[in-house]
A and B are shown apart, each in its own frame.
Chain A
């Protein structure tokens, strides 16, 4: 198959050079002949009956529901999520109608033509009261989405028993580019240009919702301005825009404002953990009990069906504990859906466990690092909650040495975290190579939305084929170019996409050798026309370990801030140190944001109070601590030796930074974000202001 390039992005140019010149090509930069702009009319109520809706495209015309796909996929829910609701609405910002205009201004003006009559109802906002409240979806029996019990319940008396209720509040992913797409229909194929982490999820979801065959949908990834989990699956707006393009036979662009992004994009976290740990006087864990509650928002399609169990399964982390039992529930509220946000369940598990390790240290008077080491493992284990973990003791000893922990602890207010990263290895990943005109084109089934996957892709392909990197062109994912794929999330692309690239390169080389025989050389390879694909599925466990150390200090104004974050992660064989450091430091910023500021706050009547990017709490340059990135290079069993790393900082930084602030202020913190008003030192009499 010859691939017809859609030609928006100059793939031969270094992405950094394109971006600094303003020559990136994002969805909103596309202009097609006759293109119209779609504006979505949204519910102003968190819960209401829709008495009538008229004008524009409504749910009376487009009777479609959302199909759960992508990173969200987790079994069909009994509650259907309408693309445009014509009967009732379940969160502020839920789409109810859409209008088209020649430009953004005209489209927004046209919204006046839509008339919606609502009968507001009292929304369910507090997840703790969700189960005793009226079901938010008519015809259902309760607001319970999922309940899981892991491990076996037990009775135990131990010298040290500590209980704590911990929370990680909801936060907005806030990629700098909001969501958007352009759809174009030629009468047989719907082509969609997407800001996405997974064109294949879009293809499946759009085809499913619109009743199309997957072959008649082509999804092309554009330069994508960040995702952090929020652009993995699909949203109602995508289906409406695709439908509008098919209906009008004209291209349709939909891009959202930041306000819309905050109202109507899946949010992360929103989990409460009631933890109890049992230990002996030497700090050795004897048992762990957990009761988790996950707020999945209005429709359980953002991962609601599996998140509770997924978090519970990870609670033991990298430690050994003889007994563990976790009960986990996911419940509905009248908020936008919960969805994956960098880490997606892993940070919650690590925060809950690491806070308890610090509590054990406080209760026993044993150093926090020592408590952790005493519970680390010397061989591969499967926890009572069912999670496999690599041996952790050696790695943590290395980490403490790398941190120079003993001397840092004497000098600074430090917090420490140990954790395990479970990459989203399920489903594998694909890669394709095509040699044509002396150049090698490379695709993966899921690709970069900021990670510069092209750098490791070129390196791996060049090493395998023996061709120079400058003849290799890395392409964004295009479902018209590669036969299958998964997506880029869950610390997976460097390990799975990388593995697929190595396999595809070997397949390509084999095809060329078959043709060229003993004459084979990289130069002759480039003279030919060859294609090869590979779908790579790892056989071994790829769970890896990480550790963070954070220090905190008081500013001269008396505010507690995180001063420095040290990261020590087992990333396997490092494919590119520069890019790894960039990823980790970016994740550190997100971890600090989560600890200090980021929180999606709703009013009792369901309005989002943090409805601007400033209110959402994303950190600025002036709030960033120093970041030091180190790695332990214990090769994985994959052909290229890599391990996942992308989510490590959002897992490890929150517990370490929280502890550092706790040590500094002498106040216990159980909920993230801590929020600046709790980080003032003013009410600590006798404490000396630094500087």
Chain B
């Protein structure tokens, strides 16, 4: 093994430390080192978005971030949404409107939608489409995903909450 680097990454509100190779991708660190297998790998060219996570609150594709680049930063994965066994409203939207089929792109889609609603709680349909255009779904034709995001936005309005998750996310 080549030289390792010590990293401290806050993942879903918990500080995780490890000695990692500089080449280790964040997505592999999450999946292999931490066992957070909800973040998926669908391509190798940063096109599909199945690996999308939040890095310091911003949606990023974790296949294009080195673990060492995440040192000292905060990562939220799909497992970090919601809390206390409850689903986040975005996750609820995807269940209510069946915004998925095979489920493989779903965690990345949910994270991208979550990031959108953080920034724009009441997006237009075009804004939703643009926000998820970095995530590929081969199953649904996207309509049900767009409906899921609309549902989540409406749920946010009903609750009059700014939409931050109640869980451990910092």
Contact = CB atoms under 8 A, between A and B. Distances in A.
B103 A223 contact: yes
A226 B145 contact: no
Interface stretch (B64-72, B134-142, B154-162): B134-142
B82 A21 contact: yes
Interface stretch (A175-183, A235-243, A310-318): A175-183
Interface residues of A, number: 56
Interface in A605-624: 612-614, 618, 620-622, 624
Of B94, B102, B107, the most chain A CB neighbours within 10 A belong to B102
Given A16-B98, A24-B103, A624 B142 contact: yes
A165 interface: no
A452 B144 CA distance: 15
Contacts of A103: 32
A176 B44 contact: no
A585 B103 contact: no
Contacts of A346: none
Contacts of B42: 176-178, 225, 258, 613
A620 B133 contact: yes
A31 B37 CA distance: 11
Contact of A585 (B50, B102, B143): B143
A355 to B, nearest CB: 24
Given A103-B32, A176-B105, A450 B91 contact: no
A19 B98 contact: no
Nearest to B125: A621
A570 interface: no
A176 B136 CA distance: 8
A426 interface: no
Contacts of B35: 31
B43 interface: yes
Contact of B104 (A26, A451, A612): A26
Contacts of A177: 40, 42, 102, 104
A618 B82 contact: no
A21 to B, nearest CB: 7
Contact of B101 (A226, A620, A624): A226
Given A21-B91, A582-B98, A585-B144, A226 B48 contact: no
A620 B137 CA distance: 8
B8 to A, nearest CB: 22
Contacts of A139: none
Interface string A599-639: 00000000000001110001011101011000000000000
Contact of A17 (B28, B40, B79, B95): B95
Contact of A613 (B23, B40, B45): B45
B104 A225 contact: yes
A572 to B, nearest CB: 21
Contacts of A28: 31, 37, 40-41
A20 B100 contact: yes
A306 interface: no
Contacts of A15: 103
A614 B46 CA distance: 9
Contact of A627 (B36, B50, B141): B141
Given A20-B91, A175-B138, A450-B103, A613 B48 contact: yes
A74 interface: no
A14 B31 CA distance: 23
A588 B105 contact: no
Given A16-B100, A613-B48, A22 B43 contact: no
Nearest to A624: B142
B24 interface: yes
Interface of B: 21, 23-24, 28, 31-32, 35-45, 47-48, 50, 77-79, 82, 87, 91, 94-95, 98, 100-107, 110, 128-130, 132-133, 135-146
Interface of A: 14-26, 28-29, 31, 103-105, 174-178, 223-226, 228, 257-259, 449-452, 578-579, 582-583, 585-590, 612-614, 618, 620-622, 624, 626-627
7 contacts: A16-B94, A22-B78, A24-B104, A223-B103, A258-B43, A585-B140, A612-B47
Closest 4 CB pairs of A and B: A22-B38, A225-B104, A19-B103, A450-B102
